[in-house]
């Protein structure tokens, strides 16, 4: 297999939650592989846009609060209007709320499940309809990459709605793959392990927890957003045309221990 199988030149991608961390790492990796980007989120992604453009690729920003499905159709139409079409969707945006299961509130449940699972599905649906239309004409495949979690496989503690939503992401990934593979769309997911980002800064600075985490990871280090970016490039490329409904753990061996 040649490196051309991983080339994304001319491809157009939507990445949600692309302003920092894993989303930024994925956006940059896709750009380095040749894709143009629509960066979607409720806060500015100026830094990500600058890094994408430094790769010689185009990047636009679409402001949208993905806590509900209200902006979904607008996000897709803006991306298509600006980029011409959408070949790749990376559903990265997500939130987490923490509390004991005995005390967990309905508001915290709904906020997390709506963002992490409901919006993911309906954004995939909207992009999927677009992909089905052009894929039959162009003879190319669309790629949807969902961001799952270690808690797609494990239970965790004090994050009931997050665990439920990320388990749901795994299930939806498989369902959509089953339905959309014949329509020219690959649907897969990435389950990141412990990645060094702003969101995990508190864990990294906690000496005890950091040591416990490192002892569990065979690689002996925290992951970098670029590690997730490489997996996203693979799943978005022709090299993964025969990969369907798979949840790729990028965890330094966490699940293997």
Q: Is 109 helix (H, G, I), strand (E, B) or coil?
A: helix
- Torsion 179-86-127-229 (CA) sign: positive
Q: Which of 12, 87, 130, 162 is catalytic?
A: 162
Report the C-alpha gap between 120 and 172 in whole angstroms: 9
φ/ψ of residue 38, rounded to 5: -110, 115
**What is the per-residue DSSP string for 58-72?**
-EEEEE--TTSSTTH
- Nearest residue to 221 via CA among 191, 253, 244: 253
Residue 191: strand pairing partners: 249
- Is residue 194 among the annotated active site residues? no
Q: Cβ–Cβ contacts within 10 Å for residue 249, how many?
A: 20
Report the C-alpha gap between 217 and 33 in whole angstroms: 29
Report the C-alpha gap between 133 and 137 in whole angstroms: 7
Residues with Cβ < 8 Å from 242, sequence gap 6 or more?
A: none
Residue pair 25/226 in contact (Cβ under 8 Å)? The answer is yes
Report the C-alpha gap between 79 and 74 in whole angstroms: 8
- Which residues are marked as active site? 162
């Amino acid at each position: 297999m040649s490196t051309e199988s991983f080339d994304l030149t001319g491809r157009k991608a939507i990445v949600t939650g692309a302003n920092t961390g894993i989303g930024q790492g994925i956006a940059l990796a896709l750009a380095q592989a040749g894709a143009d980007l629509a960066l979607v989120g409720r806060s500015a992604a100026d830094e990500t846009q600058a890094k994408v453009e430094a790769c010689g690729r185009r990047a636009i920003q679409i402001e949208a609060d993905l806590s509900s499905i209200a902006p979904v159709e607008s996000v897709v139409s803006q991306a298509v209007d600006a980029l011409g079409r959408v070949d790749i969707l990376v559903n990265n945006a997500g939130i987490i709320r923490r509390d004991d299961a005995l005390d967990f509130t309905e508001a915290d449940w709904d906020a997390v499940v709506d963002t992490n699972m409901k919006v993911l599905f309906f954004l995939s649906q909207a992009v999927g309809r677009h992909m089905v239309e052009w894929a039959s004409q162009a003879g190319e495949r669309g790629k949807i990459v969902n961001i799952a979690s270690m808690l797609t496989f494990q239970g965790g503690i004090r994050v009931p709605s997050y665990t439920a939503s990320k388990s749901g992401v795994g299930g939806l990934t498989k369902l959509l793959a089953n339905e959309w593979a014949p329509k020219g769309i690959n649907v897969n997911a990435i389950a990141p392990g412990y990645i060094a980002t702003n969101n995990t800064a508190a864990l990294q600075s906690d000496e005890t927890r950091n040591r416990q985490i490192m002892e569990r990871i065979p690689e002996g280090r925290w992951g970098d957003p670029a590690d997730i970016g490489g997996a996203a490039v693979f799943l978005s490329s022709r090299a993964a045309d025969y990969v369907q409904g798979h949840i790729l753990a990028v965890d330094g061996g966490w699940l293997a221990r």
